[in-house]
Structure 1
Amino acid sequence: MCEDDHGIGRRALFVTGAATALTLGTVSFSHGPAAEAADSQETRTVRGTLPTGSPDFVYLPVDVPEGVREIRVAYTYDKPSVPAGTPGNALDIGIFDERGTELGGEGFRGWSGGARTEFFLRADDATPGYLPGPVGPGTWHIALGPYTVAPQGLTYEVTVTLTYGEPGRTPTPVYPPSRARGRGRAWYRGDCHLHSWYSDGRRTPAEIAALARAAGLDFINTSEHNTHSSHAHWADLAGDDLLIMTGEEVTTRNGHVVALGVDPGTFIDWRYRARDNRWARFAREIRRAGGLVVPAHPHATCVGCGWKFGFAEADAVEVWNGPFTPDDEVTLAEWDNTLVAAVREGHGRWLPAMGNSDAHRDPDAIGSPQTVVLADDLTREAIQEGIRAGRSYVAESKNISLAFTASGGRGEHAGIGERLEVSPDTPVTIRLEVSGAPRCTVRFVTDQGVLLAGDPLPVSGSGVVEWRTTPAYAAYVRAELRHETAAGPLPGALAAFTNPVFLGRR
């Protein structure tokens, strides 16, 4: 074993095309007889300290010789006590191969964030979160991400072990199909934000698929943090009854975005902030790969989780994430403001809402909430088209079903996500049919705010609520179901809500 110090004096700042980053001195290995001995190993350990205010990414170059069968990396870092309200140390990790660290990820070989303390890669296998493939000669880079650094600094230790020998064979990836049997044009239920053990989740893909079926879901979308390594591990779990789309949760320092339903094998880079002015490029990459751009939990309170990129590039927004909390309430209000802005600007473009579980482990409930989409079939393209058009509502479980419509006096009719094209003074009937929501209260929300808050539904959970208005009075109407509350005038937690129906001619 060889040990080396990589203190701050040996750093060099460089620009990779991603952002200004910190590069350390190269870790070198033998190029001699060790490469000829099968299963022989060499190990190097490096140590260093990162100060508060370190760059987002610190690269440790590793000079990998010919004949390496496996690379294994382990790391530790200190976690000193910090004053109340001050973030402590958190250090993420990943790796890029000899193709480099340029923005776009050609050399990307895996990322585990802070979920693992070690990983390996070889041709025939890799730690979940990492991509199997040859360990080619050249300069690899271990990517360290100092997510937060304590006032005392962050002292780390990285151990790299190379094993020599003949490489195995890299498996050809098999991906889930882009269609399931479906029921033709129908309402399909899905959860598009989920985590398995391929990032920081604790469930296997098989466990997730079983729970998705139990939750009454017709489709799911894989969304591991900053890696597409799970894409090749879902094919056997899809079926006529479950469409499995592939994606990624692009986890930047200025917010997270779900790349929903990208082509299998697509990687989307995450190494930028809003100030770097690179987000539009990667939003376009998501769409070029056949995906939707869906900012996730925009008002989440964890460090780096709040969405800072704006919504100009978004195809939809995750308004409800997991159990309903105050940050979801804030997001709901902000989303409603975007609907008002769309009406005011009159360009016809508006931002549909989604809800997803963001489930990681027990007791996180897959399918709570779930997005219920009116789609022409159970295919990737049809589900995405329904989400993009806003023909959807969000429910806390499979138990709740909604039918929400607006109709005029001459047979005109519009459903969720559509527009009722009638004159400003035309009487309009808004109708909501509900099942599976016992004791919940119906609210109709317009560009003026809440204009109807009815009595609680009966214990049966079923009921019909009608309300009459005109396009002059309400530019759009959307429905909410709220649980009972004991907090005075504050509304209860959401049980379901719809995208809007727009009223009047453009």
Structure 2
Amino acid sequence: MCEEHQTGAGRRAVVLTGAAAALTLGSVSFASAAGRDGQETRTVRGTLPPGAPDFVYVPVEVPDGVREIKVAYTYDRPAVPAGTPGNALDIGIFDERGTELGGRGFRGWSGGARTEFFLRADDATPGYLPGPVREGTWHIVLGPYTVAPQGLSYEITVTLTYGEPGRAVRPVYPPERAGGRGRAWYRGDCHLHSWFSDGRRTPAEIAALARAAGLDFINSSEHNTHAAHAHWAGAAGDDLLVLLGEEVTTRNGHVVALGTDPGTFVDWRYRARDNRFGRFARRIRRAGGLVVPAHPHATCLGCAWKFGFGEADAVEVWNGPYTPDDEVALADWDGMLVASVREGGEARDGRAGRDWIPAMGSSDAHRDPDVIGHPQTVVLADDLTREAVQEGIRAGRSYVAESRHVSLAFSASGGRGEHAGIGERLRVDGDTPVTVRLEVAGAPRCTVRLVTDQGVLHTSAPLPVSGSGVVEWRTTPSYAAYVRAEVRHETAAGPVPGALAAFTNPIFLGRR
């Protein structure tokens, strides 16, 4: 049986979901336990105007005895003038436990990557969580990412299949430890997408490419869903640590939840003005994860970071192939470093009023030709475990390289045997001579720049064709409160520096 009805502005009610206004439309009803077998279908049509709320909810009254729920949708894409956003409509679903912000009702999200999905006890479309289809009011959630001036007309088809539910599958998660080398430098890519969100690669394919890129660890970071967590165990191994997380994709910026407990869901349905981000940053940390704002100056709609950095454990300065927005992110991060030394401290305990934030780099790879491990974060960790890698990232004991072929060794030393590495402090008096040393491998014809709170204070001659070389520079803590290294490719002409091949987190100089 198929039934259709219209839904639109005349039938809608404005409600509050957490902090953000949202539309809840008229409900879609099915006959109670109709037949206990077979299928029933309902089709809903409506139009969203320009300026529609971020999220629109379509209630679905699900009776008892349902084995599977399937949802398909389409929407129009009218022509728009150049420079005007067209229609883009995301979709997901919440079960009978409700749509409360941060609640337990979340059952999946595919954004705009799929036109249909299903859920049942033993299986679900990638991006969605298998489990029983229980009686009650479910909610399809629509996210009008952009709406054309003509409005956005949509059609949703809901099909319920009745019958005995399948046997629920017990999730198996990857281990939190791999076969490390003790305290060593480990390479990782913490921002990746599989077919469990809008990527095109399977976890197995990603793992194979990560191994080929020389990576020791990766982080699952699907857009607004943790549905991939239970599908990584087979891809992990003694040679590859798989951390679990999410890319929390809000309308005011994206944040990578890095290395959370298995099965952790982090809500995304808020803007900066709603004053809710701190709550979910704490949610990430309570689940054992790190809070990492992603591509903070990306130019895509909704990608630029608007929440501030007071909750950040690290920041993704370099995202994928090096572009002008990465250069802006690097400069912005350096400005935060300058502010931190002017405020006089580098203790890393607490988030509000904190000192400095380490930088990271990740590929944000989705599909071919995106290169996994370009760039990659190289972390000094006590072992190849979730906790040790996170501790190294949080402490800033890391540098970012464009590939496995680029290696750096960066240090600062005083005249009496004092020594500090990346992310550490060389505790010597302000007038003590300090030697800064950078060893580079795998960067042919690149130039080294040493950057301090006073700007670029040393630029080397190009490295030889072999790509290996040593750069030394002498300074004092009075002259430079910190020093960090950049390895840059050749540039064709002009004052603009070449693209990064690698860069380090800072070494701080002086007692405080």
TM-score per shorter chain, which class?
Answer: over 0.9
Q: Secondary structure at the match of 1:176?
A: coil
Once the two structures are superposed, residues 321-348 of structure 1 have per-residue CA deviations (whole angstroms, 9 ceiling, x without a partner) of 0000000000000000000011011132
Equivalent of residue 173 in structure 2, options 175, 178, 197? 175
Tell me the equivalent position of 1:481.
Answer: 487
Give the aligned partner of residue 262 of structure 1: 260
> Is 2:74 the partner of 1:76?
yes
**Structure 2 residue matching 1:173: 3-state secondary structure:** coil
- Which residue in 1 is equivalent to 2:393? 387
Unpaired runs of 5+ in structure 2? 347-354
Which residue does the alignment assign to 1:153? 151
Question: Structure 2 matches for 1:63-102, cutoff 5 A?
Answer: 63-102=61-100
2: distance between equivalents of 1:48 and 1:487? 55
- 2:36 maps to 1:36: yes
Q: 1:359 aligns with which of 361, 365, 380?
A: 365
SS at match of 1:327: helix
Residue type of the alignment partner of 1:30: A
Which residue number corresponds to residue 496 of structure 1? 502
Of 301, 304, 320, the match for 1:303: 301
Q: Distance in 1 between matches of 2:471 and 2:32?
A: 77
Return the match for 2:409 from 394, 403, 406.
403
- Give the distance between the partners of 1:316 and 1:46, measured in 2 at CA: 44
Identity across the alignment (%): 83
Whole-angstrom distance in 1 between the partners of 2:31 and 2:495: 71
> What CA deviation, in whole Å up to 9, does each residue of 1:159-180 have, x standing for no partner?
0000000000110000000000
Pairwise CA distance, 1:489 = 1.3
Superposition deviation, residue 36 in structure 1: 2.1
1:186-240 superposed Cα distances (whole Å, 9 cap, x missing partner): 0000000000000000000000000000000000000000000000001111111
Once residues 356 and 254 of structure 1 are traced to their aligned partners in structure 2, the CA distance between those partners, rounded to angstroms, is 20
SS in 1 for 2:495: coil
CA distance in 1, matches of 2:282, 2:40: 43
Q: CA offsets per residue over residues 258-288 of structure 1, 9 Å max, x none?
A: 0000001000000000000000000000000
| Corresponding letter in the other structure for 1:440 | C
Tell me, what secondary structure is at the counterpart of 1:207? helix
* Alpha-carbon distance, 1:35 to partner: 3.6
Q: Which residue of 1 aligns with 2:337?
A: 339
Name the aligned partner's letter for residue 89 of structure 1: N
> In structure 2, what is the Cα distance between the partners aligned to 1:334 and 1:419?
22
1:91-115 deviations in Å (ceiling 9; x for gaps): 0000000000000031000000000
Q: CA RMSD in A?
A: 0.6
Distance 2:101 2:244 in 1: 22
The alpha-carbon deviation at position 182 of structure 1 amounts to: 0.1
- Residue aligned with 1:46, SS: strand
Q: Which residue of 1 aligns with 2:222?
A: 224
Question: For residue 5 of structure 1, what is the aligned residue in structure 2?
Answer: 6
Match of 2:378 in 1: 372
State the alpha-carbon separation in 2 of the partners of residues 199 and 216 from structure 1: 25
In 1, the alpha carbon distance for the partners of 2:413 and 2:464 equals: 26
- Superposed, 1:424-443 pairs within 5 Å as 424-443=430-449
- TM-fit CA distance, 1:453: 1.0
The one-letter amino acid paired with 2:392 is G
Partner letter of residue 400 of structure 1? V
Match of 1:461 among 467, 476, 484: 467
Contact 1:121 1:131 in 2 (8 A): yes
The 3-state SS of whatever aligns with 2:460 is: strand
Superposed displacement of residue 16, structure 1 = 2.1
Q: Structure 2 counterpart of 1:418, which letter?
A: E
Q: Which runs of 5+ in 1 are unaligned?
A: none
User: Which amino acid letter does the alignment assign opposite residue 36 of structure 1?
Assistant: R
- 1:188–1:219 contact (8 Å) kept in structure 2: yes
Q: How does 1:197-346 map to 2 (within 5 A)?
A: 197-346=195-344
Cα distance in 1, alignment partners of residues 41 and 283 from structure 2: 38
1:26 aligns with 2:27: yes
Shift of 1:18: 4.0
Q: Which consecutive segments of 4 or more residues in structure 1 shift more than 4 A?
A: none
State the Cα distance separating 1:83 from its structure 2 match.
Answer: 1.2
Which AA in structure 2 matches 1:230?
A
* Equivalent in the alignment of 1:421: 427
Tell me the TM-score normalized by structure 2. 0.98
1:16 aligned onto 2:17: yes
Cα deviation, residue 393, structure 1: 0.1
Match of 2:458 in 1: 452
SS in 2 for 1:426: coil
Q: Distance in 2 between matches of 1:442 and 1:105?
A: 49
Retained in 2: the 8 A contact 1:442–1:481?
yes
User: For the residues of structure 2 that align with 1:47 and 1:73, how far apart are their CA atoms?
Assistant: 13
Shift, 1:479, TM fit: 0.2
Taking structure 1 as the reference length, the TM-score comes to: 0.99
Q: Supply the distance in 1 between the matched residues of 2:328 and 2:161 (Cα, whole angstroms).
A: 52
Aligned partner of 2:4: which letter?
E
Could you tell me whether the CA contact under 8 Å between 1:105 and 1:267 is conserved in 2?
no
Superposed CA offset, 1:421-461 (max 9, x none): 00010000000000010000000000011111111000000
Q: For each residue in 1:444-496, what CA deviation from the matched residue of structure 2 results, as whole angstroms up to 9, or x when unmatched?
A: 00001111111100000000000000000000000000000003111000000
Q: Secondary structure at the match of 1:280?
A: helix
Q: Is the 8 A contact 1:18 1:102 kept in 2?
A: no
Rounded to whole Å, the distance in 1 between the matches of 2:79 and 2:431 is: 65
Counterpart Cα distance in 1 of 2:19 and 2:501: 41
Partner amino acid, structure 2, of 1:13: V
Is the CA contact 1:189–1:218 (under 8 Å) kept in the aligned structure 2? yes
User: Residue 476 of structure 2 aligns with which residue?
Assistant: 470
Q: Which region of structure 1 is more displaced relative to structure 2, 302-311 or 481-490? A: 481-490
